Structure formats: structure tokens, C-alpha cells
């Protein structure tokens, strides 16, 4: 595979995911193409400028991942073919090649690229935080997709998430107790682990309906994106909501999202009416589900990458057994999605 082309493609898919997220409407409390929701300091064009300036960062992260994966396929395959810390898998000793790279060194390389990208984002937006959370999540995913492609592994959604979770392992415990971000403050007050916890856990919030909605949609337009967002709001301990309104606001947001879903969302007259009411309530209470919006971008990106590279990954990893011994990530959603409706279990 051609590294520059792969990096450019992944960077473009991340850019498109950010644009699809901000354009989707109506999104209660959030900036979309219809308005600025609960925000006074940003609009659609602010997000468009931010997404545009971040595209090269995502491409650079993907290129770095591709370089590491192609240089050391065995390191890339850890977790898919087992590790010395996983007795049920294949230990290091049974691999033909011992990994020469380390997760810690790779994380440091990604952090440097990400921090430079964040600085460019703030420069483009005049200091407004448009995509800091999305950059964190999509950055890990773009780099992980690059690693898998470089190693000749299929960039399937579960595989990308599992690799990102491996690299991010321990970040929340190391950083949240001492950081000064809104997410760290929410952790100390409410115990929620924010974007760090999401990446470490393999983005579990996507499995409570959002990912299945996006995966089953032939086109990622308003309806699937808004429904996926509502699914995320309903189950996510959104640190942006907690920062702005506390636990009461979060409980209100989650209940409102579930009500809209159970009425059919954009697919029914009742759902649309309740969604408009929800949007008015969010603006009045200054609620903004920014963390859920970041996860929506991640879901869109994962689906687009899997579709783009569905036939990729023909080069085998040098191990003594099949490298793609993948264990599925499983979660228990509180409702199932069928025909555009969410039904409580």
C-alpha cells in the first residue's frame, strides 16, 4: 500500500466526519447548519474552519501509524494474536518476530502530532474550543487505522477500537486526577472518565444503538446522524453537559433523548415535535451535549473507514498462527433499535 495515499484518505475521512457531524440538523443545543444552539461564541463556519485545519493533523497521525505498523507488524498484531500478558492468547515467545516497538513510544509520538494540531485549531478559531475532544478521539482512531493498514490487517471497526484502547490504556488514571480540563473537573466531581475513558474502553457508548444506526444507513444524512446522536446523549455521561449544568442537566438530557427516540425521532411527527421541544429546552438551560457530538464524529469516521477499506489487509502478519483472531467487543444496550425506533429492554 502507498503510505501517502492512505494517510491522505484517512485524513479526508476524518475531515468529512467532522463536517457531517456539524452539518447534521436539528441537533439540540449544538451548532449545526441551522444555528448555534446553546453557543454564543461559535457557529457553523467556526467548525468548518476548525475541521479544515485539522485534516492535515489526522493525515499525519495516520501516516505515523502506517509507518509504525509496516515497520513492526508483530507489534501491531498484539491483542489480535495474543500477548504475554494474555494467557488465552499467543504469548510473545511463540511469535516468530519479537516486537521492537512499544505502545508508550507510539503514544508519545501521537501526542506530539496532536498537540501541534490542537494549537492550529485554536489559531484558526480565535481561541474557541471547537474540536478538542473530537481531535483526541479521532486522532487515536486515525492513527490506529493507519497502524492496522500498515501491518496488513483489516481496519474493521472493532479492530480499530481495540488498538486505540490498547494504546490509550491507563491515560485516565494517570491524567484525570491532576489535569485542569473540564473533563478532569467532571471526573473529580462526578467520577466520569470522559473522552479518555471512552477511548480506553473501546468507545463503548457507540454500542448502545448509535453504531448500528450509522452502519445500517445507506447514506449518513440528517436522520441517521441525529438518531445516533440521540442514542449517545441517552447513555453517555457527557462531560460538557456536566460542566455546564451538573447532574440535573445530564439526567434531563438523557431522559429527553430517550423520549424522542421512543417517539420515532425524525421518522415520526410526534418525534419531530418532541425533538423541537428538546432543542428549545436545551437552549433555555444552556445544555450542550458536546461530548456526544464528538462520539458521533467517531462513529461516522469508523463506518466510513470500514467501508473504504473493506477489502484491505491481504498481507499476513508474521506469526505462527492466524493474526486475525479477533474477540468481539460486546455491550448490553438499554434499548434496541428497529425501524428507526428505540424500544426499552
pLDDT at 78: 86
pLDDT at 249: 97
pLDDT at 98: 60
pLDDT at 95: 43
pLDDT at 270: 98
On whether residue 178 sits in a domain, the answer given is: yes
Higher pLDDT pick, 337 / 269: 269
Domain of 73 in residue numbering reads as 3-205+298-321
Q: What is the mean pLDDT of residues 217-234?
A: 97
Total number of domains in the chain: 1
On whether residue 159 sits in a domain, the answer given is: yes
Q: What is the mean pLDDT of residues 247-251?
A: 97
Kindly indicate the confidence band of residue 325, based on its pLDDT and cuts at 50, 70 and 90: very low
On whether residue 188 sits in a domain, the answer given is: yes
Distances from the Cα of 93 to the Cα of 69, 77, 89, 101, 166, angstroms: 20, 14, 11, 16, 20
Kindly indicate the confidence band of residue 168, based on its pLDDT and cuts at 50, 70 and 90: very high
Q: Partners of 335 in the beta sheet?
A: 344
Question: Is the pLDDT score of 148 beyond 70?
Answer: yes
Question: Is the pLDDT score of 282 beyond 60?
Answer: yes
On whether residue 284 sits in a domain, the answer given is: no
Kindly indicate the confidence band of residue 101, based on its pLDDT and cuts at 50, 70 and 90: confident
On whether residue 260 sits in a domain, the answer given is: no
Q: What is the mean pLDDT of residues 244-273?
A: 97
On whether residue 290 sits in a domain, the answer given is: no
List helix spans (H) across 72-102. 73-77
On whether residue 119 sits in a domain, the answer given is: yes
pLDDT at 99: 67
- Taking the complete model, does pTM exceed 0.95, yes or no? no
pLDDT at 178: 74
Q: Partners of 337 in the beta sheet?
A: 342
340 exposed, middle or buried (CB, 10 Å; 0-12, 13-18, 19+)?
Answer: middle
Contacts of 13 (CB under 8 A, 6+ apart): 301, 304, 305, 308
On whether residue 79 sits in a domain, the answer given is: yes
pLDDT tens digits along 39-78? 999 999 999 999 999 999 999 999 999 999 999 999 999 8
Question: Is the pLDDT score of 341 beyond 50?
Answer: no
Amino acid at each position: 500500500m502507498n503510505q501517502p495515499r492512505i494517510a491522505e484518505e484517512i485524513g479526508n475521512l476524518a475531515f468529512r466526519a467532522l463536517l457531517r457531524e456539524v452539518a447534521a440538523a436539528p441537533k439540540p443545543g449544538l451548532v449545526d447548519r441551522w444555528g448555534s444552539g446553546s453557543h454564543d461564541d461559535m457557529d457553523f463556519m467556526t467548525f468548518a474552519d476548525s475541521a479544515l485545519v485539522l485534516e492535515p493533523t489526522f493525515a499525519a497521525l495516520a501516516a505515523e501509524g502506517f509507518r509504525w505498523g509496516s515497520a513492526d507488524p508483530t507489534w501491531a498484531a498484539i491483542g489480535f494474536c495474543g500477548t504475554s500478558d494474555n494467557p488465552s492468547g499467543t504469548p510473545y515467545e511463540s511469535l516468530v518476530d519479537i516486537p521492537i516497538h512499544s505502545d508508550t513510544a507510539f503514544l508519545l509520538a501521537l501526542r506530539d502530532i496532536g498537540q501541534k494540531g490542537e494549537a492550529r485549531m485554536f489559531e484558526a478559531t480565535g481561541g474557541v474550543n471547537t474540536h478538542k475532544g473530537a481531535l483526541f478521539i479521532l486522532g487515536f482512531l486515525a492513527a490506529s487505522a493507519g497502524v492496522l493498514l500498515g501491518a496488513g490487517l483489516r481496519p474493521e471497526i472493532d479492530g480499530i477500537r481495540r488498538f486505540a484502547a490498547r494504546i490509550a490504556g491507563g491515560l485516565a488514571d494517570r491524567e484525570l486526577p491532576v489535569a485542569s480540563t473540564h473533563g478532569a473537573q467532571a471526573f473529580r466531581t462526578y467520577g466520569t472518565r470522559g473522552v479518555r475513558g471512552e477511548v480506553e474502553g473501546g468507545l463503548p457508548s457507540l454500542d448502545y444503538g448509535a453504531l448500528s444506526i450509522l452502519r445500517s444507513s445507506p447514506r449518513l444524512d440528517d436522520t441517521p446522524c441525529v438518531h445516533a446522536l440521540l442514542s449517545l446523549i441517552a447513555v453517555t455521561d457527557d462531560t460538557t453537559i456536566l460542566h455546564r449544568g451538573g447532574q440535573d442537566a445530564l439526567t434531563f438530557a438523557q431522559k429527553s433523548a430517550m423520549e424522542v427516540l421512543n417517539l420515532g425521532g425524525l421518522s415520526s411527527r410526534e418525534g419531530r415535535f418532541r425533538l423541537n421541544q428538546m432543542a428549545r429546552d436545551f437552549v433555555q438551560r444552556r445544555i450542550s451535549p458536546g461530548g456526544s457530538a464528538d462520539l458521533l464524529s467517531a462513529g461516522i469516521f469508523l463506518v466510513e473507514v470500514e467501508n473504504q477499506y473493506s477489502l484491505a489487509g491481504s498481507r499476513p502478519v508474521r506469526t505462527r498462527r492466524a493474526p486475525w483472531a479477533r474477540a468481539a467487543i460486546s455491550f448490553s444496550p438499554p434499548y434496541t433499535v428497529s425501524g428507526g425506533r428505540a424500544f426499552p429492554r
